[in-house]
Structure 1
Amino acid sequence: MLNSSILKKFTLFFVGFAFLASCDKDFDGIGSDIVGDDHSDFEKEFVDVNAFSIKTGVVETTNLPVNPLGIFSNGKFGKTTANFVTQLELATENPVFKNVPIERLKTVILKVPYFSHVEDVNSDGVTTYKLDSIYGDRTATMKLSVYENGYYMRDFDPNNNLQAQKFYSDQDAVFDAAKRGTDDSGNSVTGGLPLNNASAVGQNTAFVFSPAEISIPAATEDGAATKEAPQMRMELNKNFFHNKIISTPSSNLVNNNIFKNHFKGLYFQIEEISGGALSMLDFSKGTITLTYDDDKATIIDGVETVNGTVEKTLVLNLKGNTASLLKHTATPESNDYEIADGIDKLYLKGGEGSVAYIDLFAGDNAALEELRVNAITNNWLINEANLVFNVEQTDMINTIDPNRLYVYDANNSRPLLDYSFDGTENRVKPKYAKTYHDGIAQLTGASGDSDRKATKYRVRITEHVKNLIYKDSTNVRLGLAVTETIANIGNLSVKVPPTQQTKKIPLTSVMSPLGTIISGSTSATPADKRIKLEITFTKPN
Structure 2
Amino acid sequence: MTFIKKISFSVVAGLVVAGLFSSCEDEVTTIGSGVIAGEPFGTGKAVFDVFAYNNKINTVKSNRLPIYQLGNLNDPLYGKTTATITSQLQLSTVAPTFGTYTQATEDVAVSDTIPATIVENETVKSVYLYIPYLQDVKDTDGDGVPDDLDVDASDANSDTDGDGISDNQERISGLNPLSNDTDNDGILDAEDGENGLAAYPKKFILDSIYGSGKANPFHLKVQRSTYFLRDLNPDTNFEDSQDFYSDHDFTPFLTDVLFEGTETVRDTEIITYNEDDPDTEDVDEEGTVDQTIGAGIWVPLDNQFFQENILDKEGSQELLNNTNFKNFLRGIHVSIDAADDIFMLLNLAGANITITYTHDSIDTNGTATDESDDESVVLEKRFVINLVTGDGISTAITGNAVNTFINEEYSPEVLEALSSTENAEKIYLKGGAGTYTQLKLFAEETALSTSVISQIKANNWIINEANLVFYVDRTSLDAAPGVIEPMRLYLYNAETNEVLYNTVTEFSVSNPTALSVFPFYDGVLQKESEKGIKYKIRITDYINRLISGDLSIATLGLSVTSDIRVVSIGSAKLETSEVKIPIMSTINPFGTVLYGSNTSDQEKKLQLEILYTEVE
Q: TM-score range by the shorter chain?
A: 0.7 to 0.9
Indicate whether 1:326 and 2:389 are aligned. Answer: no
Indicate whether 1:313 and 2:382 are aligned. Answer: yes
| Change beyond 3 A, Cα 1:360–1:420 | farther
| Change beyond 3 A, Cα 1:370–1:155 | closer
1:150 is matched with which residue? 226
2:500 is matched with which residue? 416
Q: What's the CA shift for 1:135?
A: 2.1
Maintained 8 Å contact 1:351/1:512: yes
Q: 1:506 aligns with which of 564, 569, 582?
A: 582
Give the counterpart letter for 2:67 in structure 1: V
Q: What's the CA shift for 1:107?
A: 1.5
Question: Normalized against structure 1, the TM-score is what?
Answer: 0.81
Q: Deviations over 1:319-349 (max 9, x none)?
A: 1111100100137xx4432332362101011
Instruction: Measure, in 2, the Cα distance between the counterparts of 1:264 and 1:224.
Output: 34
Q: What's the CA shift for 1:91?
A: 1.3
Query: Which deviates further from its counterpart, 347-356 or 391-400?
Result: 391-400
1:279 is matched with which residue? 344
Query: Which deviates further from its counterpart, 126-135 or 409-418?
Result: 126-135
1:393 is matched with which residue? 474
Maintained 8 Å contact 1:195/1:237: yes
Maintained 8 Å contact 2:120/2:361: no
How many equivalent pairs are there? 476
Instruction: Measure, in 2, the Cα distance between the counterparts of 1:470 and 1:394.
Output: 41
> Residues 112-511 of structure 1 correspond to what in structure 2 (within 5 A)?
112-117=131-136, 118=146, 119=149, 121-125=178-182, 127-137=202-212, 138-162=214-238, 163-171=240-248, 173=249, 175-181=250-256, 194-197=257-260, 204=261, 206-219=262-275, 220-221=285-286, 223-224=288-289, 227-250=292-315, 251-273=317-339, 275-296=340-361, 308-319=377-388, 320-330=399-409, 334-341=411-418, 343-364=424-445, 368-369=449-450, 371-397=452-478, 398=481, 399-416=483-500, 418=502, 422=506, 424-425=508-509, 427=511, 429-445=513-529, 452-471=530-549, 473-496=551-574, 498-499=576-577, 503-511=579-587
Give the counterpart letter for 2:596 in structure 1: G
Give the counterpart letter for 2:299 in structure 1: M
Maintained 8 Å contact 1:375/1:381: no
| Change beyond 3 A, Cα 1:365–1:167 | closer
Instruction: Measure, in 2, the Cα distance between the counterparts of 1:222 and 1:75.
Output: 48
Indicate whether 1:43 and 2:62 are aligned. Answer: no
Give the counterpart letter for 1:167 in structure 2: F
Q: What's the CA shift for 1:123?
A: 1.7
Give the counterpart letter for 1:152 in structure 2: F
| Change beyond 3 A, Cα 1:167–1:374 | closer
Q: Describe the SS at the equivalent of 1:151.
A: coil
Q: What's the CA shift for 1:255?
A: 1.4
Q: Deviations over 1:273-320 (max 9, x none)?
A: 3x4111110111011111122344569668998752332111111111
Give the counterpart letter for 1:329 in structure 2: E
1:24 is matched with which residue? none
| Change beyond 3 A, Cα 1:244–1:433 | same
Give the counterpart letter for 2:86 in structure 1: V
> Residues 15-164 of structure 1 correspond to what in structure 2 (within 5 A)?
41-98=42-99, 99=119, 101=121, 104-117=123-136, 118=146, 119=149, 121-125=178-182, 127-137=202-212, 138-162=214-238, 163-164=240-241
Instruction: Measure, in 2, the Cα distance between the counterparts of 1:472 and 1:223.
Output: 65
Q: Which has the larger radius of gyration?
A: 2
Instruction: Measure, in 2, the Cα distance between the counterparts of 1:222 and 1:76.
Output: 50
CA RMSD after TM alignment: 2.8
Instruction: Measure, in 2, the Cα distance between the counterparts of 1:468 and 1:525.
Output: 29
Instruction: Measure, in 1, the Cα distance between the counterparts of 2:416 and 2:452.
Output: 38
1:201 is matched with which residue? none
Q: Deviations over 1:368-394 (max 9, x none)?
A: 455444543443211111111111012
| Change beyond 3 A, Cα 1:364–1:493 | closer
Q: Deviations over 1:499-536 (max 9, x none)?
A: 5xx511111111111011111111x3311111111111
Give the counterpart letter for 1:440 in structure 2: V
Instruction: Measure, in 2, the Cα distance between the counterparts of 1:241 and 1:224.
Output: 25
Q: Structure 1 unaligned runs (5+)?
A: 1-7, 17-38, 182-193, 198-203, 446-451
Q: Describe the SS at the equivalent of 2:564.
A: coil
Maintained 8 Å contact 2:65/2:587: yes
Maintained 8 Å contact 1:372/1:470: no
Query: Which deviates further from its counterpart, 298-307 or 343-352?
Result: 298-307
2:108 is matched with which residue? none
Give the counterpart letter for 1:488 in structure 2: V
Instruction: Measure, in 2, the Cα distance between the counterparts of 1:390 and 1:242.
Output: 58
Maintained 8 Å contact 2:124/2:306: no
Maintained 8 Å contact 2:98/2:314: no
Maintained 8 Å contact 1:432/1:486: no
Give the counterpart letter for 1:262 in structure 2: F
Q: Deviations over 1:22-73 (max 9, x none)?
A: xxxxxxxxxxxxxxxxx98221111111111110111110211101001010
Give the counterpart letter for 1:161 in structure 2: N
Instruction: Measure, in 1, the Cα distance between the counterparts of 2:96 and 2:567.
Output: 39
Q: Describe the SS at the equivalent of 1:414.
A: coil
Give the counterpart letter for 2:265 in structure 1: F
Instruction: Measure, in 1, the Cα distance between the counterparts of 2:536 and 2:356.
Output: 52
Give the counterpart letter for 1:195 in structure 2: L
Maintained 8 Å contact 1:141/1:276: no
Q: Describe the SS at the equivalent of 2:594.
A: strand
Give the counterpart letter for 2:88 in structure 1: Q
Give the counterpart letter for 1:115 in structure 2: L
Instruction: Measure, in 2, the Cα distance between the counterparts of 1:513 and 1:492.
Output: 16
Give the counterpart letter for 1:529 in structure 2: K
1:32 is matched with which residue? none
Question: Normalized against structure 2, the TM-score is what?
Answer: 0.72
| Change beyond 3 A, Cα 1:339–1:277 | farther
Instruction: Measure, in 2, the Cα distance between the counterparts of 1:495 and 1:367.
Output: 30
